[in-house]
Amino acid sequence: MIRRIVFPSALILGLILAAGLRADPAALYAEHCAACHGADRFGAIGPALIPETLGRMRGPDLGAVIANGRAQTQMPAFGETLPEAEIAALAAFVTAPVAEVPAWGAAEIAATRALNAGYAAADAPVFAGDPLNLFVVVETGDHHVSVLDGDSFEVLDHFPTPFAVHGGPKFTPDGRHVFIMSRDGWVQKYDLWSLQEVGRIRAGLNSRNIAISEDGRWIAVANYLPATLVLLDAGDLTAARVIDVADRDGVPSRISAVYQAPERQSFILALKDAAEIWEVSTVETGPPVHEGFVHSYEAGMEEALAVETGLFARRRIPIDEPIDDFFFSPDYRFLIGASREGGRGVVVNLTVGREVAELPLPGFPHLGSGISWIRDGRRVMATPHLKEAKLSIIDMESWEVVCTIETAGPGFFLRSHPESRYFWADVFFGPNRDAVHVIDKQSLEIVKTLRPVPGATAAHVEFDRSGGHALLSIWADDGAVIVYDAHTLEELRRIPMRKPSGKYNVWNKITFADGTSH
């Protein structure tokens, strides 16, 4: 019989203390974990065991995973073989910072590149449905992705991903290939016509997100560990360039996130540990040199900030404070950013390269989940707040917060579609995390609050290509994707899934439809 052990976190320290010197966690790690998770804890056939990844994982506590194993993975249960104190010591050991980050440059990255030997590119989709109305659904419960036909809602494929996928997958402009990133820095390429993995490569040790260039040729990987921006060839997954990310004084910085700016043919990224935004060209002609931007540079900085030329040329835009999270105007002239703790947002004109407005945004705004649409002839955007039960609606011409909408709790994701009169806002935190608000885009009134599975987190919505259906995730191990009629808001069907998180419609993503994420 399997012994199920649950570790209330308060017990862990006591157990370690009680174990005294008996449990040498480094020796325990070397004996029981290193073969799969790497001697340096940065992963091997198993995921990296470092605080940068583990601290962000939702799910059972670490002691319980070590004791009980992970279903449907090679992670065994140690509850029968190790005393509780040793399990607690191991859990503490793998959540402590790692003293030394291994080198992860072009050679190390190249050594991880693994192409699928069985992959055969199909000449046409191997299924009958509309290839541009597919959904890619990330199932975090079993570390798989399901490919869903957006008309019949049939699951066309269910394939394994690297451990702990985070952020939105990125699609080639023709919608044929999708790139998926894990927190451990793996980038997986999948062919949506052949329904097969093409290959994967580990571009970082702990990564933030990825972006694809406007022409579909390059994938930018934003890393926390090490502090690099890696440019992959989207065709064969080779690393074309590894750029060390450091401020103008040479101090390394993590990247908050990177996005494609299609109108500018560039990637835009913000540095997390330095007050700089970078624009990296994705065309041979280098970055667009906009009249006026140079004047924003401080005196004496010209040399450090000299404009580079050619493919991947970088332009630095100095700002007042580092930003964690950001959003763009649809023409990519303006970046709206915030440091989550700062209580204020800033608007940066990317063309002239300087801050042009400030916004009062307390309560950890989650601008990365922002959406925008036209209301009364003016473009507005909405952002949730991770620590306040409200949404802020911002006028994108005057840069004023025009109103806030009270919600049943702090939310995480927003979604809409050009053909929908509503936007959907989940309540991700607190006792009402099973609720989702449907809000009229013009009146800004909550027209309905759905609570499809009382007690279970309901979050992240995506529309189909036509805007006629909205799909909502129930984030539970025996969860589901629920399909709603997006006009009547009636539930139509439930598709069982293992803790589905984000889902992404090919058409909405490749057309940058108003209401979807980047």
Cis ω on the peptide bond leading into residue 226 (within 30° of 0)? yes
342 binds ligand DHE (CB under 6 A): no
- Site stretch for ligand DHE (CB under 6 A), options 111-119, 164-172, 355-363, 399-407: 164-172
Contacts to ligand DHE from residues 488-517, by CB under 6 A: 501-502, 517
Among the residue ranges 162-170, 346-354, 419-427, 448-456, the one whose residues contact ligand DHE (CB under 6 A): 162-170
In which residue are the tokens 């955007």 written? 381
Whose Cβ is closer to ligand DHE: residue 182's or residue 194's? 182
**Contacts to ligand DHE from residues 90-149, by CB under 6 A:** 140
Q: Which stretch binds ligand DHE (CB under 6 A): 4-12, 108-116, 163-171, 235-243?
A: 163-171
**Residue 400-429 contact track with ligand DHE, rule CB under 6 A, x = bound:** ------------xx----------------
Which phi-psi region, left, alpha or beta, contains residue 489 (left: φ > 0; alpha: ψ -120 to 50)? left
CB of 468 to ligand DHE, least distance (A): 19
**Is the Cβ–Cβ distance between 109 and 202 less than 8 Å?**
yes
- Minimum Å gap between C-beta 210 and ligand DHE is 6
> CB 423 → ligand DHE: shortest distance, Å?
13
Q: Which residues contact 153 (CB under 8 A, 6 or more apart)?
A: 483, 493, 495
SS3 439: strand
Are 382 and 374 spatial neighbours (Cβ–Cβ below 8 Å)? Answer: no
Confirm or reject binding of residue 186 to ligand DHE (CB under 6 A).
no
Distances (CA, A) of 82 to 29, 309, 311, 494: 12, 58, 54, 41
Residue with tokens 């667009």: 288
Centre a 10 Å sphere on the Cβ of residue 440 and count the other Cβ atoms it contains. 14
Minimum CB–partner distance for residue 413 and ligand DHE (Å) = 6
Using CB atoms within 10 A of its CB, is residue 99 exposed (0-12), middle (13-18) or buried (19+)? exposed
How many residues touch ligand DHE (CB under 6 A)?
Answer: 16
Closer by beta carbon to ligand DHE, 16 or else 319: 319
The answer to whether 315 touches 306, Cβ cutoff 8 Å, is no
Residue 220 CB, shortest distance to ligand DHE, in Å, is: 10
Residue closer to ligand DHE by CB (options 127, 413) is 413
Long-range contacts of 170-174 (CB under 8 A, 24+ apart): 170/210, 170/211, 170/212, 170/219, 170/260, 170/509, 171/212, 171/504, 171/506, 171/509, 171/510, 172/212, 172/216, 172/234, 172/510, 173/214, 173/215, 173/216, 173/510, 174/216, 174/510
Q: Which of 37, 441, 460, 469 binds ligand DHE (CB under 6 A)?
A: 460
* HSE-up of residue 262 (Cα within 13 Å, Cβ side): 14
Choosing from 46, 125, 168, 337, the residue that interacts with ligand DHE (CB under 6 A) is 168
Q: Rule CB under 6 A: is residue 257 a binding residue for ligand DHE?
A: yes
Nearest approach, Cβ of 426 to ligand DHE (angstroms)? Answer: 10
Beta-strand relationship, 144-149 and 196-202: unpaired
Phi, psi of 123 (to 5 degrees): -80, -25
Q: Output the CA angle 149-154-160, nearest 5 degrees.
A: 85
Of 226, 200, 287, give the one whose Cα is nearest residue 102: 226
Binding mask 363-402 for ligand DHE (x = CB under 6 A): -----x----------------------------------
Residue 53 binds ligand DHE (CB under 6 A): no
Cβ proximity to ligand DHE: between 67 and 180 the closer is 180
Considering the complex, state which of residue 86 and residue 434 has its C-beta at the smaller distance from ligand DHE: 434
Contact between 394 and 400 under an 8 Å Cβ cutoff? The reply is: yes
At 125, list the tokens: 């989709």
User: Which residue, 194 or 501, has its beta carbon nearer to ligand DHE?
Assistant: 501
Question: Which of 3, 10, 20, 58 lies at the binding interface for ligand DHE (CB under 6 A)?
Answer: 58
Minimum separation from the CB atom of position 58 to ligand DHE (A):
6
User: Which 206-245 residues touch ligand DHE, going by CB under 6 A?
Assistant: 209
Residues that bind ligand DHE (CB under 6 A): 56, 58, 140, 166-168, 209, 257, 368, 412-413, 460, 501-502, 517-518
